[in-house]
Each structure stands twice: as C-alpha cells, then as structure tokens.
Structure 1
Amino acid sequence: MRTAPPLVAPLFRSDGQARLLAELFLSAADELNLNELAQRAGLAYGTVHREVRRLLDAGLLSERRVGQARFVRPNPGSPLTQPVRDLLLVSAGPVPLLAAELSDIAGVETAFLYGSFAARMRGEHGTSPNDIDLMVVGMPDLMVVYEACRRVGDQVGREINPTIMTPEELGERSGFLAQVRDSPTVPVIGDLPWP
C-alpha cells in the first residue's frame, strides 16, 4: 500500500518512509532488527525489507547479521547521515523524541499530537506549522512534562505546547475537546482515549 508524501516534509517519498527513517535515525536504540523496525514504524515486513535494501545500497545504513537476523543502523561514515537526521528532527522527529521523553515520566498514561502539526502528518493541506500541540493524559509532575517538551522543542526547532489533563477532565464536554476529538491526531504514547 502506497501512502502520500507527508505534508510536514514532502521531501520523503511517503509517510511510511518518513516513519521508518525516523525510527532508524532518531531512535535511542543503537541498532534495530527488521522485525522490530517494522513493528515500530507500523509497516509490513516486506516494505521494511525493500526500504532497508535501498538505504543499504545508498550507503545510509550499515548492517550486521546474527544468524538469520539482520540488524541495521545509520552508517556513521556516510556524509548524508547527519543531514538526514537533521531533516528528520524537524519533520518526523517530535513523535519518537516525545515518546522517549514522556515514557520515563511517572503519571503519563497517554500522549498524542493534535492541531496543525498532526493534521499535516495525517495528510491535511495547510500552512506549515510553527509549533506542535501535545495532549498529555494522566497526573504527571507538570514541570517535568514542560521541561521534557522544551528539550524536544529545542531539538526539532519548534515550540511544543503541552496540554495536560486527567482522564476525567478528558471525558468532559467542551468546545475545545470536541474540536480535538474531531481533528487529526497522532499517537505518541498509548492508545487514543477515544475511538
């Protein structure tokens, strides 16, 4: 299944390719096997296999085999590695970086992007977003969440605006929450709190 180029960074061939590259180039993991990569990027194994072959042929990845398992990582010797990482930080980087930061914070149950950045990631046309709206559900230490968002924002070059709500508050009726529910969202941690 082919997907359209992501509107946040239309330089990538597809949204799937951008997710795969983000997992490879922005992950805290030193290397990933192809099964892990497929799962983390939400792509079919065959798609990951083909894309990894292209990236290996282009010299962007290096590979290590252990039995039948193939482990890949960004090629530190390629002059393209850092520019690709920099481009991914600005375009696809917020999701894996926020996931890494927020998963270590006690009290965070669910987190997702909403607003214009999420809309562009989901293929809705519009102007390029200047900031990123993040909903955090749970009862975390507010200052710890704000500091994590500042760190990620510094890396991706966009301000991250967290809204923190308890699960009970998220269930209330309001114009703001109705708009969030009816708009595109991108999961960061856990499942979305509504279908």
Structure 2
Amino acid sequence: MRTIAPPLAPFLRSAVQGEILALLLLRPETSLTIADIVRETGGTPTVVHTEVSRLVESGVLTDTRVGRARLVRANPDYPLLRPLTEIVAATFGPVPVLGAALTGVAGIREAYVYGSWAARAAGEPGPLPRDVDVLVVGDADRAALNEAAAAAEETLRVPVSITKVAASAWGDATEPFLRTVRSRPLVRLDVATVGA
C-alpha cells in the first residue's frame, strides 16, 4: 500500500510518521509503547510498528524492552535531533504542543486548531502556515489562554492566536465567524481541563 506524503511536510513518508516524531521528539523525556503510539496517532498497529522500526534503525529513536513491552523514545545522541525537532515542531507540533499547553486551564469545554494549519493537516495543498489559529470554547480566563499561547509559541516558533467563544455562541449557527470556522477543517485538541 502506497502512502501519501503529508502536505504539512511532503518530505516525510506519511502523516503517521510525522505524528510519531511529534509525540517523541517534542517530549524527549517520554518513553511510549507501540500501543501508546497507536492510540495517540490513530495509526494502525502495523503502520506504527513499521514507521517506528524505520526510525529506530536510522537512529532517530531508540527502543528498549521491558518485559513484553517495547518502549520507544527520542535518541538524544542523534546528530540531527535539534533541526529535525524544529521541523517537526513547525509541521506536526501544534496538536501535541497546544494540547499540553492548554491542559489544566480551567473553563475549556473544547479546543480546536482552525485556519491554514488545520487545512494543511486535512490534506489541502498550500504553503506552510506562518501561524496557528486556535478556537477555545468555554469560559477560560484570557490571561491563562495568553500564557498557554506564549508557551506554545516558544516550542512552535510561530505566532499562536487563541480566540475564545462562549459555549452558547459555539452552538449558534448564525454567527458569521463561527459559521465560517465550522465550514472549514478543524483539528480537535485533546485537552484535559479542570472546572470546564
């Protein structure tokens, strides 16, 4: 089965490869099992196993066995780790980075990436986005959202703009901005919140 290069990073083999790299390179202290990676990327076990094996063989990742589990992590000694991490952050980083930055912010009911980055992630052709647009649904504190955006910008190295809307407004199909946002690609962020 032939894989299609992702529009966000056409030099990578597949979107799953990009997602695996984002999971592990952007959290270099983390070790994940193949099952963890399958769950977090949505890739099939066969594809994830194949991509991880290639990345281990090339030295980008390392693996160790603990019982029957295969733990995989970024290889801190890989000579191109820093530039590769920067590329991965710019292309596949928004979902894991923003999810982590928004986790724990009180009052978030839902969060999405929208705009050009979401369009590229959905397969629409175009240039690499120069910013990341985020929509937060709920009553989160603006200062906490600005702090999360600043933290994400440090890793992603592009501006992050967070728009907050009330849950009642998100359900209103007549508001022009939200109607436009809903009509275009959205990438849901996995955000663990408190007090939502």
On whether the aligned pair clears a TM of 0.5, the verdict is yes
* Aligned counterparts of 1:15 and 1:169: Cα–Cα separation in 2: 33
TM-score normalised according to structure 2 size: 0.91
Q: Distance in 1 between matches of 2:131 and 2:61?
A: 31
Partner of 1:119: 119
1:125-161: CA deviations, max 9, x gaps? 2233221110011111111111111221232121111
- Cα distance in 1 for residues equivalent to 2:35 and 2:158: 32
Instruction: Measure the CA separation in 1 of the matches of 2:55 and 2:28.
Output: 19
1:74 aligns with 74
Deviation at 1:97, TM superposition (A): 0.6
In angstroms, what is the RMSD of aligned CA positions?
1.6
* Identical pairs, percent: 37
For structure 1, list consecutive stretches of 5 or more residues without a partner in the other structure.
Answer: 191-195
Q: Spell out the pairing of 1:92-171 with structure 2 (5 A cutoff).
A: 92-171=92-171
Counterparts of residues 49-68 of structure 1 (less than 5 Å): 49-68=49-68
Q: Displacement of 1:120 after TM fit?
A: 1.0
Query: Under a length normalisation based on structure 1, what TM-score does the superposition of the two structures give?
Result: 0.91
- Contact 1:6 / 1:122 at 8 angstroms: preserved in 2? no
Give the stretch that moved more between structures: 6-15 or 139-148. Answer: 6-15
Residues 109 and 189, structure 1, Cα contact 8 Å, conserved in 2: no
The alignment partner of 2:189 has SS state of strand
The letter for the 2-side match of 1:109 is R
- The letter for the 1-side match of 2:10 is P
Give the Cα separation in 2 of the matches to 1:116 and 1:152.
17
Q: Give the Cα–Cα distance (whole angstroms) in 2 for the partners of residues 52 and 127 of structure 1.
A: 28
Q: Distance between the aligned counterparts of 2:61 and 2:47, measured in 1?
A: 16
Q: Show the counterpart of 2:183.
A: 182
Q: How many Å apart are 1:3 and its aligned residue?
A: 4.8
- Give the superposition deviation at 1:27: 3.1
**Structure 1 CA distance for aligned equivalents of residues 117 and 88 of structure 2:** 14
Alpha-carbon deviations, 1:44-89, whole Å to 9, x = none? 1111111111111111111111111000101111112222211111
Ranges in structure 2 where 5+ consecutive residues have no aligned partner: 192-196
Q: CA deviation at 1:28?
A: 6.7
